[in-house]
Amino acid sequence: MLRSVELKDYMLAHPVTVRAEATMGEAIRLIIDNKISGLCVVDEADRLVGILSELDCLRAMLSTSYNEGGIGQVKDYMADDNLIVANPHEDITDVAQDMLLKKKRRRPVVEDGRLVGQVTCRQLLKAARDFTT
């Protein structure tokens, strides 16, 4: 069983980010090169404006093949409404339970309006391993 630990102790402090105006090709390259399943989309002040997943990228690529057009920009495919974020001082167990409930693999961590990190299932598994061994 996990004991109470603040999220900041296990979050990725510098998640890979992309701007909404970037091309989908750039975003796909970032996902592949960094071996991650998604990106936080930020503005010039590092405020979270969306999330882009591998599935969003796949949808963009398939859309291009059907529409015979350009692949578009990140803002055309990112999730940007009802974004659920965490605070770095939240209890990691509470965040993990909520991620399971909402079936989300990642949770951006925001403080004072700025993206300061991200927690994914992998970080949660590491925390669980650390406290069960």
- Residue-wise pLDDT for 87-109, tens only, equals 999 999 899 999 999 998 899 99
Nearest residue to 72 (alpha-carbon basis) of 20, 29, 31: 20
Q: Is residue 11 part of a domain?
A: yes
In this prediction, what percent of the chain has a pLDDT beyond 70? 92
Give the C-alpha separation, 91 to 50, whole Å: 23
Chain center to CA of 85: 10
Q: Is 91 helix (H, G, I), strand (E, B) or coil?
A: strand
Indicate the DSSP class of residue 75. G
Tally Cβ neighbours within 10 Å of residue 14: 10
The predicted structure's pLDDT at residue 4: 57
The residue count for the chain: 133
The total number of structural domains in the chain stands at 1
Residue 29 is assigned to a structural domain of this protein:
yes
Q: What's the rounded mean pLDDT across residues 102-118?
A: 94
Decide if 96 is inside a domain: yes
The amino acid sitting at 120 is: T
In a domain, 27, yes or no: yes
- Sorted by sequence, the CB contacts under 8 Å of residue 78 that are 6+ apart come out as 20, 41, 49, 50, 51, 52, 56
- Please give the residue range of the domain that contains residue 56: 7-132
Residue 1 lies in a domain: no
The CATH number for 125's domain is 3.10.580.10
pLDDT given for residue 68 in this prediction: 61
Separation between Cα atoms, residue 111 and residue 96, nearest integer Å: 18
| Nearest residue to 99 (alpha-carbon basis) of 133, 51, 66, 32 | 51
How do residues 34-62 score in pLDDT, each as one tens digit?
999 999 999 999 999 999 999 999 999 88
In a domain, 2, yes or no: no
What are the structure tokens assigned to 28, written together? Answer: 């796909």
